Amino acid sequence: MIKKSTHAPAKPLLILGIDPGLADTGFGLIEKNGQKLKFITCGTFKTKAKTDFNERLKQIHQQLNDLIKKFKPGVVAIEQLFFCKNVKTALQVGQARGVCLLTVQQHQLPCYEYTPLQIKQALTGYGRAEKKQICQMVKILLNIKELPKSDDATDALAIAITCDHFLGNKIYHAI
């Protein structure tokens, strides 16, 4: 006699990846269902260079807030600011990243951060992988024919996949 399992199947988990930036903040949303990953959507939040700096941060907040309300992800992953040659750019990206983190926390979502090295390693097994290799793995793992036109959106999908990898291995890097 075969017994029926009393455990309900795991609910699909929506993972939102964010690649923070001031001009372009990339986002990528994937669904984890069992062992399968599924592409949901991706894109960028764009702000104009001639717009007041604080207004640009507000626009990033509003767009991310709207995205979270619309899709209701279960977890968020964001790229950790690792290295930047230009100090002014690093400060601006850091502030945009801070706005993203605050927006996520306002929704009380678990948020994880990953360095570029961790992202490369999770997707390719090699921490110094080239951009082309990362892009190829995003296509393969999400079973998509074409990559997004935006590098920032592709990076955000890679960040979401990295989160799945680490959560699947029970290695947490919560903020």
Q: Which of 24, 31, 79, 113 is catalytic?
A: 79
Q: Which of 19, 31, 155, 164 is catalytic?
A: 19
The answer to whether residue 52 is catalytic is no
DSSP string, 96-134: HHHHHHHHHHHTT--EEEE-HHHHHHHHHS-TT--HHHH
Strand order in the sheet with 75-79: 36-46, 24-33, 13-19, 75-79, 111-114
The answer to whether residue 113 is catalytic is no
Q: Which of 24, 31, 113, 152 is catalytic?
A: 152
The answer to whether residue 164 is catalytic is no
Q: How far apart are the first and last CA of the chain?
A: 48
Beta-ladder partners of 18: 27, 78
- For β-strands 13-19 and 24-33, DSSP reports them as antiparallel
The Cα–Cα gap between 119 and 158 comes to 7
- Residues 167/75, Cβ–Cβ less than 8 Å: yes
Q: Catalytic residue numbers?
A: 19, 79, 152
